[in-house]
Chains A and B, each alone.
Chain A
């Protein structure tokens, strides 16, 4: 199983990772606000992650670490 780690306080909530995920693992957390005042990304069903790292490839702020 793949493990996703987010540097949540650097996230700007642009949602490019959510869009590109083939397994629909990610979502923008509308109920959370980070240090920069954005709604950050979170994994809504992390067990579905296959570790393809598409999200990290498209993340402009380099906040996602992918391990498997």
Chain B
């Protein structure tokens, strides 16, 4: 009996991510959910700019590459033109929380029937480890070598908390992928986000606390511990909005 194997919706190609980067885990969870809901043939993914810019090579469904931060806008167009297709975006924190903040907030406010997978690793990965809007106070990055100074650079943006103040979104949850239990919970959240879209309920966003061993300057296993020690206390896990739960 096969207990675990690669999902069909994930291509059998080597990924370009650094060793120990949890992008691969989240890719797999999305692919598993697409397989389980049997929506591979009608799913359209929107790839972002950032480390996951080449996500279109890794998913077996149709993919579109959006301009930096504009994935929710592209997804809005695709979903409105093809309401029977399942549309998801896969975005990092530099893409969604920085340059694409307007698109994110307005698609949430409009309650577009799309699914957003938001990877929060508190740093710009692809460009070499600069400070991101989600970098923690005091966090050392390439552009904050003495630690993030909140007086000069402001405070990190908590996307789930912020969007939960809007009346629009259907479902917002923050999960992490730093241990087996959290990975299982992350899969449940991603599945629910896709089911909401299949059931035409509206905007669903899952924020995944992820690691960046290379730019954090840690080993892969230390990076997962750093998530537990530093990231999760600042970004508490949980459901921030779920209208269907009422």
Contacts and interface: CB of A to CB of B under 8 A. Distances in A.
Contacts of B2: 65-67
Interface string A34-68: 00101000000000000101101111111011111
Given A57-B180, A58-B180, A58-B183, A66 B20 contact: no
Interface residues of B, number: 28
Contact of B3 (A2, A10, A12, A16): A2
A1 B92 CA distance: 40
Interface in B1-19: 1-6, 10, 14-15, 17-19
A17 B28 CA distance: 15
B51 to A, nearest CB: 12
Contacts of B17: 60-61
Contacts of B3: 2, 51, 53, 56, 66-68
Most buried by B among A13, A51, A56, A58: A58
Contacts of B221: 15-16, 19
Given A20-B179, A54-B180, A62 B220 contact: no
Interface in B211-226: 213, 219-221, 224
Contact of A38 (B4, B6, B19, B213): B19
Interface residues of A, number: 27
Nearest to A38: B19
B201 to A, nearest CB: 28
Contacts of B213: 14
Interface string A6-26: 000110111110011000000
B192 to A, nearest CB: 19
A59 B4 CA distance: 11
A53 B36 CA distance: 18
Given A16-B20, A58-B179, A59-B25, 9 more contacts: A14-B19, A57-B25, A58-B180, A60-B15, A61-B14, A64-B4, A66-B2, A66-B5, A67-B2
